[in-house]
């Protein structure tokens, strides 16, 4: 039998269901793997070994009692530290939350527990999900298992690194401008941003509420789909949650067939400025899809080029408003409360000390964009651009079933390279932002290694709102064909932990 | 119009961030670059285009008015930076004169 920590979520769940292995053994194997590689990867901010073992034993007891187990019962998972958890700290990668222990579980946390998923701990992230490298974490960066001197992407880089390093078969992240797909792409794993509103944000600490979307990370498309169905669905506690059936993503991942589909290539995202090896792998993916029976055509989306500037007005504006809640009064850090200072002074001192550089930049940028006198020229205009991006998608999806592009313009970049160059960092999300702005579904699936650096490249598949299943069909077909051609899973080539 | 240190100091006050002088200088240079880049949205012809604040059009979302238990006071206060007589203790909010 394969080492337990190398098994897929689907195989673990089946083995637990069939009594071939206990959930407790599976959890122990992953905790041992974490102990072994975590000093190099640093994917977790908090490992909850006791709670994980207790959750695993509960699954084993339910099985022994003859209960029907769900599709992911007994499967370990790495949860981004932006989801509230009753029994584990929730820091959002920020010093301002201190050792906050949330008084309630996020809806997604609760759904995972009810499904018998074993939460191994909370993963590192860029502070309040703002960044593309985890370098904005107050607790230091995580490292890419392909090359420990490179970033694992961000903001959900702790979860993507944990999955790529075989510390957990499943991870959960949140995507606001690409924060699931980009770390997925640069770590060589699958990252999914479901349709906006498909997943509850109750108990997810807010960054930009009109964009934030929780979603799965996994080593296979099927595993991502299984998690997608467990975590998704309407939640009355989140007013933006869509009251509609979850798209049949597991069936689509099993179908893994693109014959008869029409696929659009976005020419705006395959031009200059993209790393040659990324473009080479993307072109091969296009040929592969044609050979699998899809019709591929070019579909121009002229306003996608303006998505990045519009995003960096809209997201910081919402962030400046959302992060006003960190006022040092009810929870978290409080600095300078010596009896002489006013509440406002304490607030300003706490926020200056508790927030890192990128969060401060974005709060100030948002405050600027929303200022009277600038509002129409910046925030107002960005909202109009958002409408034009949605119209580009609508026009495209009248002609094609899905759109494709590279997920990121480059492979994983070296730690430290972009830390003090915000615009360079922002460019990592160039191709992922449009789907956040329009709220449609998108995923990243590995499509090989860039020849010049041997690092993974992601193929992005974008589907219409609530048609998430279409991108799983495409992702699973690409994965199956590439795995068959290679003869082994892509992650076997990851040499950072060799 | 370039972003200068005084603009950043003003934004910092509005944002309730007590920034040090060197931070103000550093941020002025960075915000200037970022704002010049995002100003590209102004190139787009958007005459008569309605703004989108939210990708999924939803208005007036209600749920059933069913009473459910809320968090108890001690649980909530257990995470507070300072507590007095079962309440949040906060610094003074009015000037003394």
Q: What does the DSSP 8-state code read for residue A380? A: I
CB atoms < 10 A from the CB of A449, how many?
19
- Taking a contact as any Cβ pair under 8 Å apart, which residues of chain A between 341 and 360 contact chain B? 341-349, 351-352, 355, 360
Q: What is the pLDDT of residue B59?
A: 79
Residues in contact with A456: Cβ distance below 8 Å, sequence separation at least 6, in sequence order: A146, A185, A186, A187, A188, A411, A412, A446, A448, A449, A450, A490
Rounded to an integer, what distance in angstroms lies between the CA atom of residue A393 and that of residue A435?
9
Which chain A residues have a beta carbon less than 8 Å from that of B64?
Answer: 236
Local confidence band at B96 (pLDDT 50, 70, 90 cut-offs) = low
Mean pLDDT on B56-70: 85
Rounded to an integer, what distance in angstroms lies between the CA atom of residue B93 and that of residue B97?
13
Mean pLDDT on A438-460: 98
Cα A52 to chain centroid distance, Å, stands at: 22
Nearest chain B residue (CA) to A96: B81
Cα A244 to chain centroid distance, Å, stands at: 22
Statement: residue A235 has pLDDT above 80: yes
Rounded to an integer, what distance in angstroms lies between the CA atom of residue B28 and that of residue A396?
40
Q: Any chain B CB within 8 A of the CB of A29?
A: no
Cα Rg of chain B (Å, integer): 23
Going by their DSSP bridges, the two strands A190-193 and A441-449 should be labelled as antiparallel
Query: Taking all residues of chain A, what is their mean pLDDT, rounded to a whole number?
Result: 97
DSSP string, A4-61: GGGS-HHHHHHHHHTTSS-HHHHHHHHHHHHHHHHHHH--EEEE-HHHHHHHHHHHHH
Whether residue A155 lies in the annotated active site: yes
Give the active site residue among A179, A200, A232, A320.
Answer: A179
Token pair recorded at residue A166: 């075989």
Exposed/middle/buried for residue A233 (C-beta within 10 Å: 0-12, 13-18, 19+): middle
Which one of A175, A309, A369, A466 would you mutate to disrupt binding with B, by most B Cβ within 10 Å of its Cβ? A309
Mean pLDDT on A109-137: 98
Residue pair A173/A204 in contact by the 8 Å Cβ criterion: no
Q: What is the pLDDT of residue B64?
A: 85
Mean pLDDT on A161-190: 98
Q: Tell me which residue in A103, A333, A347 faces B16 most closely, judged by beta carbons.
A: A347
Statement: residue A1 has pLDDT above 70: no
Q: What is the pLDDT of residue A82?
A: 98
Which chain A residues have a beta carbon less than 8 Å from that of B12?
Answer: 364
Strand, coil or helix: what is A386? helix
Cβ A364–B63 below 8 Å, yes or no? no
Give the active site residue among A94, A155, A241, A405.
Answer: A155
Local confidence band at B97 (pLDDT 50, 70, 90 cut-offs) = low
φ, ψ dihedrals at A297, nearest 5° = -140, 160
Q: A335-380: per-residue pLDDT in tens?
A: 999 999 999 999 999 999 999 999 999 999 999 999 988 899 999 9
Q: A267-295: per-residue pLDDT in tens?
A: 999 988 899 999 999 999 999 999 999 99
- Taking a contact as any Cβ pair under 8 Å apart, which residues of chain A between 263 and 302 contact chain B? none
Residues in contact with A476: Cβ distance below 8 Å, sequence separation at least 6, in sequence order: A221, A222, A225, A252, A253, A254, A255, A256
> Which position has the higher pLDDT, B63 or B10?
B10
Whether residue A80 lies in the annotated active site: yes
Please calculate the CA angle A253-A274-A487 and round it to the nearest 5 degrees.
40
Q: What is the pLDDT of residue A475?
A: 98
Local confidence band at B57 (pLDDT 50, 70, 90 cut-offs) = confident
Statement: residue A440 has pLDDT above 80: yes
Q: What is the pLDDT of residue A437?
A: 98
Rounded to an integer, what distance in angstroms lies between the CA atom of residue A426 and that of residue A167?
28
Token pair recorded at residue A256: 């893994």
φ, ψ dihedrals at A208, nearest 5° = -130, 100
Whether residue A156 lies in the annotated active site: no
Cβ B17–A355 below 8 Å, yes or no? yes
Nearest chain B residue (CA) to A354: B17
Q: What is the pLDDT of residue A267?
A: 95
Which chain A residues have a beta carbon less than 8 Å from that of B16?
Answer: 324, 327, 344, 347-348, 351
pTM: 0.97
ipTM: 0.95
């Amino acid at each position: 039998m394969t080492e337990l920590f190398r098994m897929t979520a689907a195989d673990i769940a089946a083995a637990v269901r069939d009594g071939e292995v206990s959930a407790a053994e599976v959890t122990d194997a992953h905790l041992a793997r974490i102990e072994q590689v975590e000093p190099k990867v640093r994917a977790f901010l908090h490992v909850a070994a006791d709670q994980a073992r207790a959750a695993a034993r509960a699954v084993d007891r339910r099985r022994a009692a003859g209960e029907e187990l769900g599709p992911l019962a007994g499967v370990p998972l790495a949860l981004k530290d932006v989801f509230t958890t009753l029994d584990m700290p929730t820091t959002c990668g920020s010093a301002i939350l201190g050792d906050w222990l949330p008084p309630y579980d996020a809806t997604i946390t609760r759904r995972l527990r009810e499904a018998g998923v074993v939460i191994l701990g909370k993963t590192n992230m860029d502070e309040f999900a703002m960044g593309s490298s985890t370098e904005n974490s107050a607790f230091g960066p995580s490292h890419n298992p392909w090359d420990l001197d490179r970033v694992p992407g961000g903001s959900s880089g702790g979860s993507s690194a944990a999955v790529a390093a075989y510390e957990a078969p499943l991870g959960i992240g949140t995507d606001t401008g690409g924060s699931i797909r980009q770390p997925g792409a640069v770590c060589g794993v699958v990252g999914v941003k479901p349709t906006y509103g498909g997943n509850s944000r109750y108990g997810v600490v807010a960054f930009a509420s009109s964009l934030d979307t929780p979603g799965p990370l996994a080593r296979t498309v099927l595993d991502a789909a299984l998690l997608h169905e467990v975590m998704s669905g309407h939640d009355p506690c989140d007013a933006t949650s869509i009251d509609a059936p979850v798209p049949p993503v597991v069936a689509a991942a099993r179908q893994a067939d693109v014959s008869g589909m029409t696929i659009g290539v976005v020419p705006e995202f395959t031009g200059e400025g993209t790393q040659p090896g990324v473009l080479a792998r993307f072109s091969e993916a296009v040929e592969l899809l044609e050979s699998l029976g899809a019709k591929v055509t070019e579909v121009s989306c002229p306003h996608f080029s303006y998505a990045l500037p519009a995003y960096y007005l809209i997201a910081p504006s919402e962030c400046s408003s959302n992060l006003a809640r960190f006022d040092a009064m009810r929870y978290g850090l409080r600095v300078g409360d010596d009896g002489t200072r006013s509440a406002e002074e304490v607030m300003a001192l706490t926020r200056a000390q508790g927030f890192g550089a990128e969060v401060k930049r974005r709060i100030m940028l948002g405050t600027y964009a929303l200022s009277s006198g600038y509002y129409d020229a910046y925030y107002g205009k960005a909202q109009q651009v958002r409408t034009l991006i949605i119209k580009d998608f609508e026009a495209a999806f009248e002609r094609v079933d899905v759109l494709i592009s590279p997920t990121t313009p480059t492979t994983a970049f070296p730690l430290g390279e972009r830390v003090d160059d915000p615009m360079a960092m922002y460019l990592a999300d160039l191709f992922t932002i449009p789907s956040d702005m329009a709220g449609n579904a998108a995923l990243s699936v590995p499509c090989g290694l860039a020849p010049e650096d041997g690092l993974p490249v992601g193929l992005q598949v974008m589907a219409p709102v609530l048609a998430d299943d279409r991108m799983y069909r495409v992702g699973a077909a690409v994965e199956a064909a590439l795995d068959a051609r290679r003869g082994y899973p892509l992650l076997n080539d990851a040499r950072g932990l060799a | 119009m370039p972003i200068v240190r005084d603009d950043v100091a003003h934004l910092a006050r509005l944002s309730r961030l007590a920034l040090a002088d060197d931070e103000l200088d550093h941020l002025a240079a960075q915000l200037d670059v970022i704002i010049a880049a995002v100003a590209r949205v102004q190139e787009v012809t958007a005459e008569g285009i309605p703004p989108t604040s939210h990708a999924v059009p939803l208005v007036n979302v209600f749920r059933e008015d069913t009473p459910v238990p809320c968090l108890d006071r001690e649980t909530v206060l257990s995470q507070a930076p300072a507590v007095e007589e079962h309440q949040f203790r906060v610094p003074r909010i009015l000037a003394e004169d």
